[in-house]
Amino acid sequence: MKGRPSSRKQKQTDLSATFSVRIQPRASKNGVSRMQDGSLKIRLTAPPVDGAANEALVKFLSDTLSVGKSQVEIVSGHISREKRIKIFGMSEEDVIRLLNNAKQ
């Protein structure tokens, strides 16, 4: 039926987690660092040029959380180091647990 959303898409949007991150571009290696001013600090080797750091962030989070890149959305902060991230298909508890396990 046209105009009716698929059940698969609906299930994906029912469960999501939104959180703040602070990006440190041009780091020596990719990784989760610590909480800083209420945001999770994430180090990325990519420079903050032409969206490279945003692409690296999406790839890093999708790899770390074992989700597809399409499930990671930068909600705000596309040209800022401070960003709001939304992960579809995961609970906040799961996201926090996996990111805490990835801390270095």
Residue 77's CATH number: 3.30.1200.10
7 occurs within a structural domain: no
Gap between the Cα atoms of 73 and 84, Å rounded: 9
Q: Are 45 and 32 in contact (CB under 8 A)?
A: no
80 occurs within a structural domain: yes
Condensed to tens digits (0 to 9), the pLDDT of residues 32-78 reads 988 878 889 999 999 999 999 999 999 999 999 999 999 999 999 99
Q: What is the pLDDT of residue 77?
A: 97
3-state class (DSSP) for residue 65: helix
Gap between the Cα atoms of 85 and 81, Å rounded: 12
**Under 8 Å CB-to-CB from 48, ≥6 apart: which residues?**
23, 25, 26, 81
Question: Based on the number of CB atoms within 10 Å of its own CB, is 49 exposed (0-12), middle (13-18) or buried (19 or more)?
Answer: exposed
38 occurs within a structural domain: yes
Is residue 104 very low, low, confident or very high in pLDDT (cuts 50, 70, 90)? Answer: low
- Tell me the average pLDDT across 70-97: 96
- pTM for the full model? 0.83
3 occurs within a structural domain: no
Q: What is the pLDDT of residue 32?
A: 94
Whole domain around residue 78: which residue ranges?
15-101
27 occurs within a structural domain: yes
25 occurs within a structural domain: yes
1 occurs within a structural domain: no
Gap between the Cα atoms of 98 and 57, Å rounded: 15
Our count of domains for the chain comes to 1
8 occurs within a structural domain: no
Report the chain's terminal Cα–Cα distance, integer Å.
Answer: 49
